[in-house]
Amino acid sequence: MGDSDLMTGAKRIAATLKGPIGQIKLTRVVGQHLHWFEDVRSRGMTWDQIITVLTAAGATRADGTPFARGHVSSAVWRARKGISRPKPTGPESASATTSVHTKQRSRPRKSAESSGSKIPRRDRGPKDAPTEEQCAPTSGVQTNPDKADLMRLMRRAAKLRTSAGDEGG
């Protein structure tokens, strides 16, 4: 693949991204142009270099910003593996108002009332927190300031945990 083929392919990708009513999703376009991505990767180009070429050819997000490296690399990976997003099934799939790209859950969420196991957290304000004097190191040994701060925070956290356990039981 020469430099002219490189830009020609990138311009084809940019043209494919432009749909009649808006931008087409990158994952669909990558599937159609997977050979180009494989060629440029085998040529030794990094994802950042590929994004630079795509941006120069006009292949960007709908808002004009370049694609993110993770977005492009994962779209290529999914296209190589033949993984696509699930399509809706049932009567709503024929509806024009239902989006194909709506995330679907494998199981419905439980509401807070139905789970029964969630206990609302008690609001703990500064009045419940021990003072610094209560959390000060008890030994007279001098330690480095960072370690002393860490120890003070650990004692404070332990005191908060034990006081919260006393109130809840």
13/65 same-domain check: yes
2-16, 90-104, 121-135, 138-152, range with the lowest pLDDT: 90-104
pLDDT at residue 6, as a whole number: 87
Of the pLDDT bands very low, low, confident and very high (cuts 50, 70, 90), residue 52 is: very high
pLDDT digits (tens, 9 = 90+) for 9-36: 999 999 999 888 888 888 889 988 999 9
What ranges in 24-144 are assigned the alpha helix state H?
Answer: 26-32, 34-42, 47-57, 69-81, 112-115, 132-135
Last-in-domain residue among 23, 55, 81: 81
- Predicted confidence at residue 85, as pLDDT, reads 56
User: Do the domain assignments include residue 103?
Assistant: no
Domain boundary residue, one of 17, 49, 81:
81
Q: Residue 161 is part of which domain span?
A: 125-168
Residue 88 neighbours by CB under 8 Å, 6+ apart: 98, 100, 102, 104
Domain count across the chain? 2
Closest CA to 7 of 30, 40, 31, 38: 40
- In a domain, residue 62? The reply is yes
